[in-house]
Structure 1
Amino acid sequence: MRAASRLFCAAGLIGAAACAAMATSTPGPVAPSDRAIRIEARRVPLGIGGATLGPGVTWAGGLVLRGSGLHGLSDLKIDGGRAWGVSDFGQLIRFTLQLDRNGRLVTADRAVTRPLTGPDGAVLTPKANADSEGLAILPDGTVLVSFERDHRIWSYGAVALDRPTAVARPDTDFPDNEGMEGLAAAPGGGWLVLGEGGGAWVCHAACAPLGAAPVMPADGFRFTGADIDPAGGWFVVERYYRPPLDMRVRVRRLSADGVLSDPVIQLRPPASIDNFEGIAAVATTTGTRLYLLSDDNANALQKTLLLAFDVAAPTPAPRP
């Protein structure tokens, strides 16, 4: 992470009036290893101006999330309607996304958190040892977390209940605070790794560069997140962050041979914008639902934003 220092009202609810502009909740009973945290979700608009959506992309709702355990969120993945996130402070956070009858994001609830631990079972401290930046959930349920400063990728097993074990990471000397920001599942049980300052690798027992191993363009954008594209390849987040006057983000596709597409989504002020680092892609009947999550850096002047977009399935190429 490089920044300032650096999810219906259910469709089954009776009456649309039950969907308030703001919702707060605490979860019911949770596993002993989890701690319930209060989550406040207030709807936000995309904003008038500042958003450029590519062909087939539509706005599907947005939230600003508030709560004592919802700061510094660095990545996002969705597993069965449950959102998973990790934070700069070594926390694993989960909450439930709620959609209205039209599938638009309207609130989030039932949030829990627990600290990430080391191989010895001890809670990770201090921040330099606990700075989790990337999150991937593999097809078998294995949860991977990447850390920066002490650059490493750990597997926490299925549902993140195991003591972690180290897995393959790129053999690259990452800068102290510009490490493995993007982490996502890859075909064949592997994982994609993106370096904040550039570079892409696919890892299994070892890591190999992805195609041409894309480097970041010269316009100041940096890789901050990735998730697997149900149509093939990945969606990646690129952030330009020069607060307080200039914050921008764009989403592009990354092909299996390392080619970046034109932007699918571009946001800049006055659109709803902050320090976007997390992305989750969920297959739908018409294409893909994308969620973008921002890291507020535990700064009172910033926001934890969760934005939703629907991306239509690519049109098949005509047969020759």
Structure 2
Amino acid sequence: MKRAVLRILGALTLMGAAACAAVATSTPGPLPGLDRAIRMEARHVPLGLGGATLAPGVRYAGGLILRGPGLHGLSDLKIESSTADDANAWVVSDFGDLIRFTLRLDRNGRLTSADTAISRPLTGPDGTILTPKPNADAEGLAILPNGEVLVSFERDHRIWSYGVGAGERPVAVAAPAVALPDNEGLEALAAAGPTGWLALAEGGGAWLCAIDCVPMGRSPLIPADDYRFTGADRDPAGDGWFVVERFYRPPLDMRVRVRRLSAEGVLSAPLIQLRPPASVDNFEGIAAVATPTGTRLYLLSDDNANPLQKTLLLAFDTPG
């Protein structure tokens, strides 16, 4: 049995080496402070034949599989700025890391690659690095219009502000004053208005927060059909948000759908639905970016540091 396992591991190593030859790999140079350059491999991935249902006008705009030793457990995504050629991505992870990298687009705006990844451990109010994992389990990320970076954590449920550009020691900000399950906390976080934020709990519940948090809508917002809320970002073209809902029954059934959430707390029909055999995994992160013709949505999956799963980054264009 041991020899068989070694043969399998050897074969997987050779397969991995062959795959790396066909991907773009980058590692930035030395950086000051807590920032550290991390290796990132980006390989193109098709949407797949079957398993994808897109609303009228929604189209696939390219996708990547991201690999690297510091790219596991990625749980939310936001885009700080974007041009015709690239976009600056911010990501938080289950392991208490804040990661930034650049997305590369072709002349038609399709996602083609990612590089220059930089990682920084999240710290506490006293400046020490957050450990262990139950204290560092970052799930939601929001960048407010003034550049202030907010992070939500589960297990020890809270929302912290890391200041403009994440350049300060964190301070606690308003979070919903409700009891949440240990591993089903504030999964989704997004900007709301000029100074507020939206928080969604995985199993249900939506709140608009600023000085304090108030429930959204007339009744609790609950995902249907055994889906769970895992991500949100504001709609750059309006007052609402785009929301990620995940159905997760590994290894055979992993699904995701994206819907609009109105300011009144009403969810639309799905804009994007993915299930096997489409390219799908444990999607948790979303970023919405304005484009000349509508909105670009980026979806990011959390591989749970499981070698059988993938870190997927998929792009979709929605009409205005």
TM-score, structure 1 normalization: 0.90
CA 1:60–1:31: 2 relative to 1, 3 Å? farther
Distance 1:31 1:256, change over 3 A: farther
Q: Per the alignment, in what secondary structure is the counterpart of residue 100 of structure 2?
A: strand
Indicate the structure with greater helix content.
2
Matches of 2:173 and 2:223, distance apart in 1: 29
- Displacement over 6 Å in runs of 4+: none
Q: Which residue of 2 aligns with 1:42?
A: 43
Matched, 1:298 2:299: no
Secondary structure at the counterpart of residue 40 of structure 1: strand
Secondary structure of the corresponding residue to residue 194 of structure 2: helix
Q: Residue 301 of structure 1 aligns to which amino acid in structure 2?
A: L
- d(CA) in 2 for partners of 1:114, 1:24: 20
Q: Which residue of 1 aligns with 2:3?
A: none
Secondary structure of the residue that 2:230 maps to in structure 1? strand
**Which residue is equivalent to 1:216?**
222
- Number of aligned residue pairs: 294
Which of 168, 173, 179 is residue 185 of structure 2 equivalent to? 179
Task: State whether structure 2 residue 252 is matched by structure 1 residue 245.
Answer: yes
CA distance in 1, matches of 2:219, 2:101: 34
Give the superposition deviation at 1:214.
4.4
> Which amino acid counterpart does residue 191 of structure 2 have in structure 1?
A
Q: Verify: 1:286 aligned to 2:293, yes or no.
A: yes
Conserved? CA contact 1:24–1:38, under 8 Å? yes
For 1:128-143, list aligned pairs within 5 A.
128-143=134-149
Residues 196-239 of structure 1: CA distance to partner in whole angstroms, max 9, x if unpaired? 01010010000011123543244110000000001220000000
- Are 1:27 and 2:28 counterparts? yes
Say which SS state the counterpart of residue 128 (structure 1) adopts: helix
Q: Which segments of 5 or more consecutive residues in structure 2 lack a partner in the other structure? A: 1-20, 82-86
Which amino acid in 1 is paired with 2:200? L
Q: State whether residues 135 and 144 of structure 1, in contact with CA within 8 Å, keep that contact through their aligned partners in structure 2.
A: yes
SS in 2 for 1:188: coil
Give CA deviations for 1:261-297 in whole Å, capped at 9, x if unaligned: 0000000000000000000000011100000000000
Deviations 1:136-166 (A, max 9, x none): 0000000000000000000000111100000
Give the secondary-structure state (helix, strand or coil) at the position aligned to 1:77.
Answer: strand
Could you tell me how far apart the structure 2 residues matched to 1:30 and 1:43 are? 28
C-alpha displacement of 1:31: 4.1
Structure 2 distance, partners of 1:88, 1:213, is 30
RMSD: 1.1
Identity %: 76
What are structure 1's unaligned runs of at least 5 residues? 1-19, 314-320
Q: Does 1:205 align with 2:206?
A: no
In structure 1, give the amino acid aligned to 2:24. A
Q: For residues 251 and 36 of structure 1, what CA distance do their matches in structure 2 show?
A: 32
Whole-angstrom distance in 2 between the partners of 1:214 and 1:262: 18
Letter in 1 for 2:263: A
For residues 279 and 270 of structure 1, the distance between their equivalents in structure 2, rounded to whole angstroms, comes to: 21
Provide the residue aligned with 1:104 in structure 2: 110
Q: Which moved more, 1:220-229 or 1:208-217?
A: 208-217
Distance 2:235 2:51 in 1: 25
1:116 alignment partner AA: L
Show CA shifts across 1:9-38 (max 9, x none).
xxxxxxxxxxx9620111245443310000
Which amino acid in the other structure matches residue 150 of structure 2? Answer: L
- Does structure 2 retain, via aligned residues, the 8 Å contact 1:201–1:213? no
| Aligned partner (choices 268, 273, 282) of residue 261 of structure 1 | 268
